[in-house]
């Protein structure tokens, strides 16, 4: 799982059937210090995250697991909202 911050929402009036009930979010990957790392990605929001929230997401073939379908055109899915981060890493 990867940490990220929701930085925007993507609106689409037409989507593939298996993803039509989910919104899509722009997510900026972050580290445990909440610093940006890498480039923003588009993730399917399976839990209802909002702008500015810290989330964790999964990628690759595992991204379809929360959808309860065998196949879907999904590269990343948000699967949790983070309440707090406590890290010993400097």
CATH number at residue 54: 2.40.50.220
pLDDT digits (tens, 9 = 90+) for 57-87: 999 888 888 887 778 888 899 999 999 988 7
Residue 8's domain spans which residues? 2-60+71-81
Residue 65 lies in a domain: no
Q: Has residue 52 got a pLDDT over 60?
A: yes
- pLDDT recorded at residue 24: 93
Q: What is the DSSP letter of 18?
A: G
Work out the average pLDDT over 25-39. Answer: 95
Half-sphere exposure of 40 (CA within 13 A, CB side): 12
Number of domains within the chain: 1
Residue 88 lies in a domain: no
75/66 Cα distance (integer angstroms): 12
């Amino acid at each position: 799982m990867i940490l990220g911050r929701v930085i925007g929402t993507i609106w689409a009036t037409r989507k593939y059937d298996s993803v039509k009930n989910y919104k899509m979010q722009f997510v900026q990957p972050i580290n445990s210090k909440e610093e940006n790392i890498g480039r923003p990605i588009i993730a399917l929001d399976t839990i209802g995250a909002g702008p500015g929230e810290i989330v964790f997401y999964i990628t690759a073939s595992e991204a379809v697991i929360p959808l309860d379908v065998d196949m879907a055109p999904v590269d990343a899915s948000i699967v949790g909202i983070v309440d707090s981060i406590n890290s010993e890493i400097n």
